Amino acid sequence: MAEKLKATKFSIIPDETTDVSAEKQLGIVVVYCNSDSVDVCTQFFYLVPIEDCTAKGIYAAIKNSFHDKGISMNNLIGYSSDTTNVMLGNKESVVALLKEDYRNVIAVRCSCHMIHLFYVHHTHV
């Protein structure tokens, strides 16, 4: 998959999590067009332990994940994540840092998170 990402445009969907040992991790999913099959592929790319869960720490982990595999971030065209301030806030967020370095990246809020937030805030049991 790394070889394909070196030669094509792609989007990422990062999400941070904490496992049962309380170790924080960042999972990255990529979405790209597979030129061999002309299919849009959504694949798990990387799981990296992270200690710094600030926007700068998460952004550095994303950039390092692609750099370690020799994949240019210039191929990145899209970004989607949950709707937390650290990921999609207007100022100090992963997407704000990303857009500073790669202005043409399109950011989209995760529709599943948006629906969940709407449901939680608009239903009263």
Residue 94: CATH number of its domain = 3.30.420
Indicate if the pLDDT at residue 79 is higher than 80.
Answer: yes
Higher pLDDT, 22 or 44: 44
Domain span holding position 37: 2-122
Q: How many domains does the chain have?
A: 1
Under the banding of pLDDT at 50, 70 and 90, the label for residue 121 is low
Residues present in the chain in total: 125
The mean pLDDT value for 91-110 works out to 89
pLDDT of residue 120: 61
Task: Enumerate long-range contacts of 86-92, CB under 8 Å, 24 or more apart.
Answer: 86/53, 86/54, 86/55, 86/58, 87/14, 87/55, 87/58, 89/55, 92/54, 92/55
CA distance 15 to 84: 10
Average pLDDT value over all residues in the chain: 87
pLDDT of residue 34: 85
pLDDT of residue 124: 55
Whether the Cβ atoms of residue 28 and residue 65 lie closer than 8 Å to each other: yes
